[in-house]
Amino acid sequence: MQSQTIPRNHKIPHQTASLFRYIILLVLLLGFIQPIHAQNEIKAIYVYIDTVSDLTNEKAQNFLVELQGKLQDAKISVEFMTALPSVFGNNLSPIAEIFFAPTFNGERIIIDYSITITPTANTLVKTSPILKNGLPISVMISEQTAIDLVYGTILFTADRCDLAIPIFEKLTVSKEIAYRLNYNLATCYLIEGDYKKSLDLYDNQLFTNEGAFLGTNLAWLYLQTDQEVKAFETMDIAINDYKYLDGNRSELFSDRAQLYNLAFRYDDAITDLTAAIELSPTNPELYTLRGQTYLLLYEWDAVLADYNKALELDPTYADAYYYRGVLYYSILQTGQEMYTAALADFQRYLELAPEGIHAAEATRYATDIQTQINALNN
């Protein structure tokens, strides 16, 4: 399908444009569109046991039995799976991964067993897609806190922070584990709406011990609590000091851009997204995000150009089809040609992402457009 040209004289009434701008900001940046999950969806945890010995397997199995008992007592239904997450059934929702491995002394004798739990479910997406997930935590199976630490982390990633918080608050752990535990506790406070406690904990740990930046959630919280200067000072620390850090600087620019959007600083957001694109010029998500930001500035040509570029880079990138379809249908209603283009984009989105987060809306748009096209042809 050839790309469409936006009429230069296309206008939207001022009141309609202002309302549309507000709706776009809410929908695209605050995460109000959420995935639709099946009612019978089962929370699943992938378990890997490094079976260098039967004893490793026995220790792991005993730990899992105790863990399952705690979850059952709390009426939390979780399946422990040994299949790779990529082959989970459609009704399974992976929320965490647990890895068991022996630890050795200098003579290669097993002295203990480590457990690493990694949250994989982004429990924050319901609050904002800008926010980052919890941190993985490793602990020795012999430690008294091991079972409660893993249990609390599962509750957290299963979206039961109401149960996880009192467990996290009572744990006494080593310094190495403490900053990761506190980050996850801060995330739980955020989810539960206790911004004061969340701010205090996030503020004490801006980076992991390996140098990865942890401050995006803190910056978002500063914006929510009318502390805009602190919000961008926090992001500036990571971006300006990136040469000392591991990680993706392009992602940092993208995160700051989305925060600029939330602060209604759209030109600054465009600047950051352009910087991100210069660092990652083949990333279609960045072009789509910049297109969404141009939309907030009513720069339709720039919006369309970025959506088209995203699809040029990746013709299978479903979200760009959806957003371009919305652009054609909701803004550029200049005749049947645009309706046809919008319909084609929504249909393509549904082909690529039939279970995608915009599937319900894309279906509704496609149905409405087909009805209008049929009426015009009769």
Cα angle vertex 153, ends 151, 156, to 5°?
Answer: 115
- For the CA atoms of 370, 373, 374, 375, the dihedral, rounded to the nearest 10 degrees, stands at 120
Q: What is the pLDDT along the chain (378 residues), one digit of tens a residue?
A: 434 444 433 444 444 445 445 545 554 444 433 333 334 456 788 888 776 556 667 888 889 999 999 999 999 888 888 755 555 455 667 788 899 888 887 777 777 888 999 988 777 877 888 898 889 999 999 899 999 999 999 999 988 999 999 999 999 998 889 989 999 999 999 999 999 999 999 988 788 877 778 899 999 999 999 999 999 999 998 888 766 554 478 999 999 999 999 999 999 999 999 999 999 999 999 999 999 999 999 999 999 999 999 999 999 999 999 999 999 988 766 556 788 899 999 999 999 999 888 999 999 999 999 898 888 777
The enclosing H or E element of 153 equals: helix 146-157
Contact 328, 3 (CB under 8 A): no
Rg (C-alpha) for the chain, rounded Å, is 24
- For the CA atoms of 187, 188, 189, 190, what is the dihedral angle to 10 degrees? 50
Distance CA 219, CA 346 (A): 35
Written as six digits, the tokens of 67 are 């863990």
Query: Coil, strand or helix: which one is 113?
Result: strand
Q: Show Cβ contacts of residue 300 under 8 Å, excluding neighbours closer than 6 positions.
A: 6, 10, 294, 327, 331, 332
Strands (E), the chain: 42-49, 78-81, 92-104, 110-119, 137-140
User: To which H or E segment does residue 296 belong?
Assistant: helix 284-296
pLDDT, position 91: 61
141-145: long-range contacts (C-beta < 8 A, 24 or more apart)?
A: 141/59, 141/63, 141/100, 141/112, 141/113, 141/114, 141/115, 142/112, 142/113, 145/171, 145/172, 145/173
Instruction: Count Cβ atoms below 10 Å from residue 341 Cβ, excluding itself.
Output: 21
DSSP per-residue letters across 166-230: HHHHH----HHHHHHHHHHHHHHHHHHT-HHHHHHHHHT-SB-TTS-B--HHHHHHHHHTT-HHH
- Nearest Cα neighbor of 177 from 148, 155, 198 is 148
For residues 295 and 21, what is the distance between their CA atoms, to the nearest angstrom?
A: 8
Beta pairing partners, 137 = 117
| Under 8 Å between Cβ of 319 and 339 | no
Give the pLDDT score at 343: 93
The predicted pLDDT at position 374 comes to: 85
Please state the domain extents for the chain: 42-205
How far apart, in whole angstroms, are the C-alpha atoms of residue 373 and residue 366?
Answer: 10
Check residue 69 and give its pLDDT.
92
Q: What is the number of H-type helices and E-type strands within the chain?
A: 15, 5
* pLDDT score, position 66: 92
Q: Is 240 helix (H, G, I), strand (E, B) or coil?
A: helix
